[in-house]
Each structure stands twice: as structure tokens, then as C-alpha cells.
Amino acid sequence: MAVNQPQTRVLIVTGMSGAGRSTAANALEDHGWYVVDNLPPKMLRPLVDLADDPANDMPQLAAVIDVRGGSLFSDATDAIVALSHESNVEIVFLDSTNDVLVRRFEQVRRPHPLQEDGTLLDGIERERSLMQEIRERSDFVMDTSEMNIHQLSTAISKIYSEPEDARIRLTIISFGYKYGLPSDVDMVADMRFLPNPYWEESLRSLSGKDQAVSDYVTGNPLAKEFMDSYENSLAAVLRGYAGENKTFATLAIGCTGGKHRSVAMAENMANRLSGRDDIQVAVKHRDLGRE
């Protein structure tokens, strides 16, 4: 007997120009939503049908509707009204006061899409009138007047992320300084202050993933003192990142060749952090096997 597939959760993001649709789209994408931006309204129904097909792994779909004028307004209204009664569809309307929208457009020195030969306020008021029915059909109206982009991103994340998505994803990369620093990392820790297993004949051919090398490196009192202190500091940094709605972070741990000390300490730090509910840890050894 066939098992019923759960319906895709569909979020339609619309609202006033300048109220934060792009920021909302980015926040949703960071939390695993499949986001389609600037979708023509007539493509909304086919997209939802495509997402509901069990062959497509798309549990969460967000469609950002940017209505610029003309027939698109009636198309958007028709498409949204048609979907508004479906249980798996939610409509969020982003709004701000007129004066805030005027200020935002002035700050980026761009005209309102419906301004034509009038003022910014003329364009905003024209759009507000046209969007009224869609606003009334929305499940949730979010006023972004008092929010900056970081606050809006945080608000969207809190509402539309799954509990497991709330964890910050930390990638720990071991590397060798003689091969250069990894690119695009947030933090770097240098393990060259620790004794080098390379100079121990019995350990030279092994790596930091081998127990003997790991015991040699992490058993050093300096290594334990460093890791105890750094774990607490790192946890504080990651909490700060999470508060800024940063969902990914990368820590690079280096030694001379990227084979012994950095590998052992990266594995040790990952093991220390793996039991935390607020951090998801992955480990990569960039230069292991390169010698």
C-alpha cells in the first residue's frame, strides 16, 4: 500500500516594495527553504504542483511575489486567492508605514516601481491601494517599519525555521601553514605552540586521527589548558553569531604540515562541541595526506 507523502509547506511572501521581501527570502533560504524570487504570479500554481510531486524533494517552498504593475496585480490576486484556502499554503505580507518606505527609497536613491512621473509617495500610495486585497487575504502581516535588515532576518528565522535549524553550523578545518591559510574562514587557531609529533619516530608516519598521536597532542597540559579556555570563548562567539542571525561559521586550526597537531586538535574540539544542542559540527582535514 502506498504511503501518503506529506504536502510541501508553501509560503507566499509578498508585500510593499521596500518592506523587506529580499531580506525575508535570504533568511528563509538560510534555513533550508527552497526559495523562488520574483516569481511571475501565473507561475505560482504550477510551481506549487511541482513541489507537491513526491518525486521532488522540496518539503518547504517559499515563493516571493514581486508585483510591478499592470496585469500582474490582477494575476497575483487571482493566484493568491486560489491558493489561500489550501491548508499547506501560508501568505505573509510585509508592510511598512509610508514615511518609512519613502525614507528607504531615498536612502538607496531608487524610484518606486509605480512612481512614474509622480513622487515617491504617489507610487507608494498607488501600490498600497492595489495591494489591499492581497493584504486582506494574507495569513500574517508583518510590520517592518521599526526593523533593520538584521532584525527582520532574525524575526523571519524565528517564525519559519525548524527547531533543528536554529543550531549554528560550525565547520572545523585542519590545515598546514606551509600550504597557506584556508580562504573564507571566520576564526583561526595556531597549534604550533605544541610539541610536534613529527619528531617522534614512532609517530611520524601516523596522523592526528590515530589514537597514539591524539593522546600525545591532547594529553599535553598546554593543549588541555588551551582547549578548555578556547571552547568557552568559541561558544560565546557562536552565541554572538547566532544573535546576529549568522547560521554558518568556520574555524581553521593549523599546524606546520596539517597532519598531526591540527588534525588531533580539530577532532578534539569537534568531540567537545558535538554534544551541544545549539551547534552542529562538521570536520574537514584539508591537507591530510598531502605530504
Give the other-Cβ count within 10 Å of 95's Cβ. Answer: 19
Fold of 9-163: Rossmann fold (3.40.50)
Give pLDDT tens digits for 132-177: 888 888 888 899 998 899 889 888 887 887 655 556 889 999 999 9
CA dihedral 40, 5, 161, 31 (to 10 degrees): -60
The pTM for the full model equals 0.59
**Whether the Cβ atoms of residue 76 and residue 65 lie closer than 8 Å to each other:** yes
Angle, helices 221-243 vs 261-273, to 10°: value is 50
Average of per-residue pLDDT across 81-100: 86
Q: What is the percentage of the chain residues whose pLDDT exceeds 70?
A: 93
The average pLDDT across 225-237 equals: 92
Cβ neighbours around 3 below 10 Å, total: 6
Identify the pLDDT of residue 205: 93
Tell me the average pLDDT of the chain: 87
- Note the pLDDT tens digit of each residue in 35-78: 998 888 888 888 888 887 777 777 888 998 876 655 666 777 78
Name the nearest CA neighbour of 223 among 256, 255, 181, 250: 255
Residue 53 confidence (pLDDT): 78
Domain span(s) for CATH 3.40.50.300 in the chain:
9-163
Query: Taking Cα atoms as reference points, which of 127, 135, 129 lies closest to residue 80?
Result: 135
DSSP-based three-state secondary structure for 48? helix
Q: How far is CA 8 from CA 26, 62, 192, in A?
A: 19, 10, 50
